Structure 1
Amino acid sequence: MTDVLREVGMIARALDSISNIEFRQLNLTKGQYLYLARICENPGIIQEQLGELIMVDRSTVIRAVKRLETTGFIIKKADLTNKKIKHLHPTQTGLEAYQTVIRENNYSTCVALHDFTNQEQEQLERLLTRVRKNVAIDWEFVKKGNHRQY
């Protein structure tokens, strides 16, 4: 068995750490840039969908959304038919911060894939997508209160 997930984890932690440091100037903390990016890319998304998209639990999404709303990056708008449902939308401040997030993402992607051919980049994306889909099955299973058999 290879240490592929260990490598993926190290890459993810390094990039997350870099982003958290660089986005402090925007008043984004602890991974909030990820939530903001998904809200900007999916205006009107609801918290449940956001959690599924990022693959985090409900309480984590609630805390992140509350902080983004408090700091003026997003607003919640009530659904027209069901007032309990709140749609998340970026503010102008959120959209401006998102532009910085995207520039950082593009830069990090170029650094990470330096010296990879286009074919290798496409292959890596296909393989990682397969890995994510495999993991998503277990994530859904465990999220529902089940336990995996090791």
Structure 2
Amino acid sequence: MAEILRPIGAIARALDSIANVEFKRFDLTKGQYLYLARICEHPGIFQDQLAGMIKVDRTTAARAIDKLAAKDFVVKRPDLTNQKIRRLFPTEKGQATYPNILRENQYSNQVALKSITDDEADQLERLLHKVSANIDDDWHYVKKGNLRKY
């Protein structure tokens, strides 16, 4: 069987490490750029949705969001129909920072695909979406307190 998870993990860690260094000048640390990007792309998202999108637990998401709010990148606003839900919106500072995150993402994507043809890139994207969907089921299963049977 092909071993795909180690290279995927190594790629993710390398790009996260690079981004953490490059976004330090914007006062973003430890993956906060990822949360800010998703909030800018989905204004009004609530914390549980964001946690699921990024594949982190609610507590981890809450800490990151609180830090972004303290640094004035995002603001929490109550939902109009359910006061328990706080919707997340980028502030002006967050919106001004987002294009830098987007540029870094586009550049990293370009570097990652530089020796790959357009057809190969399209195929890789399709396959990675399938892999992600496969893992998503297990992620939800384990997050509900279950253990996978090996």
TM (norm. structure 2) is 0.98
**For residue 13 of structure 2, what is the aligned residue in structure 1?**
13
Structure 1 position 3, deviation (Å): 2.1
Q: For residue 76 of structure 2, give the secondary structure of its aligned residue in structure 1.
A: strand
User: C-alpha separation between the residues in 2 aligned to 1:84 and 1:72?
Assistant: 22
1:60-139 correspondence runs (5 A): 60-139=60-139
Unpaired stretches in structure 1, ≥5 consecutive residues? none
One-letter identity of the residue aligned with 1:135: I
Amino acid at match of 1:64: A
Structure 1 stretches of 4+ with a deviation exceeding 3 A read: none
Aligned partners of 1:135 and 1:20: how far apart in 2?
A: 25
Give the secondary-structure state (helix, strand or coil) at the position aligned to 1:81. coil
C-alpha deviation, 1:82, in angstroms:
1.8
Q: State whether structure 2 residue 131 is matched by structure 1 residue 141.
A: no
Distance 1:147 1:80 in 2: 37
CA distance in 2, matches of 1:92, 1:103: 18
Identical counterparts, % of pairs: 55
Task: State the match for 1:57 in structure 2.
Answer: 57
CA distance in 1, matches of 2:116, 2:96: 31
Separation (CA, whole Å) in 2 of partners of 1:24 and 1:53:
23
Secondary structure at the aligned position of 2:64 is classed as helix
CA RMSD of aligned residues (A): 0.7
* Residues 57-110 of structure 1: CA deviation (Å, up to 9, x unaligned): 010010000000000000011111222111000001001111100000000000
Deviation for aligned residue 1:148: 0.3
How many residue pairs were aligned? 150
Q: Secondary structure at the match of 1:69?
A: helix
Residue pairs, 1:29-68, within 5 angstroms = 29-68=29-68
